[in-house]
Structure 1
């Protein structure tokens, strides 16, 4: 049931801007439904794509540099999320032509959609929501920022289907159409190198609320002041119902039976998922919810137990790319006495983390470039009760942890920074940590 999307795409001159996972998905979809349509592909590395697709005679190619001057030649520009547009100086009459899979999915997908965003917690909450709905027997799909392009799902959906769409700020930047239920979990400083300013990042996130379907539902963290400021700038569509939540809200379920969901941040994630599930499936059985929470399997790199080596317990929290996430990890694992932190410097403040570390029970803080130097300097400027080791690589960090740890120690990798200067993504960093811990 994709006739609306196919009708929309028919007859349009289309540019696929970016040919990563989503761009390739768009190409496959278009070729399936429009085998005779001329298409244009633009990418930063266009030569290997030309070679790969040389058997398709209906393709044209553009270099990345040529795109801004050619946008108005196309009726529709399907932009991949990872391409930043804020700093490109695009012509004003080109902006309305730019869309992404997420926007068109939200416009044309059959059934109902729950959109999930937040600086942190969106993957766990999205998976939790899908797990709750599936446990109750719903026809549910999960896609979006988790690595499954939304157009890969659209042909599987019917009028009774529910899609849980995890949505990043990159995907939300050009959103004009929204879901039936929106979950906005939190808002911290993140991706400033992409958006340019925190205000622009906040505005991109706020598009999820701004574009909600009339009569839809907005679930949001009520005690997050930055999120509140973002919502204050949004004129919600007619009939949208607000559903605030915070740490004080009653949550009639226990997470004690699932050691994979530690900490207050996971309680809040579970609360948001439950609130959405109730809206999507009125009459949801509480016993079904509790059983689903008990059986949920946590995602890798999120307070993931790696193992016990030499009497030291190791946890992989590579997903923590902002200071607030590391604070949540330390709250969930208060017995941490060795912390490995540091990564790519994107200009966020570490003052709150520094103050919390001074109050912690750490024995060792092992810091890596680039932000590790910032943390170390701030800590050494005042009273610091633990030792600080500055290293150049994750390999060196794990070596220090193994040397300085003792039986009963807990070593936590929770970098409070992105990995992009040394690793492709947080998954690659987490896998490297796991490998280094377990190797003899």
Structure 2
């Protein structure tokens, strides 16, 4: 990470930045401030043990350009609120989210909510992770007419995060009984976690289909690993998630390859048990797909993609704010109400699973992977002109 130019965001270097005062409607720490004119502080504690971020809230402008060819000259400025971290602990000190976190959750304080409320885009966005570790995010994208989809499910009666219901899991052509579960769709988690009972059924069926010898690799977090007898990866069975109305999601690459000096040393089935009743579909199982978070219609949609040509979506254009919209259309206090009163990323809101939270992405040995965290992959509407906060929280 020392070789990465993070281009850290500094409010004093931005002509459009504004510090939020304690009297601001979004300053939840306001009642504890000594003066209403004092800069608004924030403090977020994440599920990962001893991981926290604290600092000051800042408002600035996000510069967006259209990803559609026929509106290539369209650009707008969208106001967002970020947290500029001044003191970090836990995972942050170990390299998690080196250039910050981007809030993409359903709550009104997230970036997609700001953009949709301003009338700039439709209330939806898509993400695409490619095999070469690159990625795309498009705000306002509703995806393709041919895509598959499944509805989001409420958690404790509200849509506070992106949860879907998996009806069954299949290994190859064998669909397993009693493998239904709820899953959090979390781009901020590098790998995938399943409830214990579902995990045990899947790994045992996978092991039964694999024509390779069980092995172990130092530093690997996965239990079901296999030795490769050649320099190439042997054929592995497919893993498919079944959803209502005959929709299915075939995981593009269910294994993590272990490379050695002479080529492929082996591979591991890249899932872990979570110990919770809600699983987490992480970035590794989203790879090769265009994942559409359609907040307007409360559904998740997907279609295969190489993440390069995403200009064929239903809606990709930016629009100017409608007449009568305030120049700074930030949500009101009422719209900002969230459980616990904390503006956090979707995976750590409410009762999301503790182990694989977005803010506390699992730290895997660097021998096996480079955590491909969301902020390092962002190309906002394919052309990014935005700030990168070294330790900020959006």
Q: How would you bin the TM-score normalised by the shorter chain?
A: under 0.3
TM-score (norm 2): 0.26
Larger radius of gyration: 1
TM-score where L is the length of structure 1: 0.24
Which is bigger in relative contact order (C-alpha 8 A, separation at least 6)? 2
Give 1 or 2: higher strand fraction: 2
Bigger helix share:
1
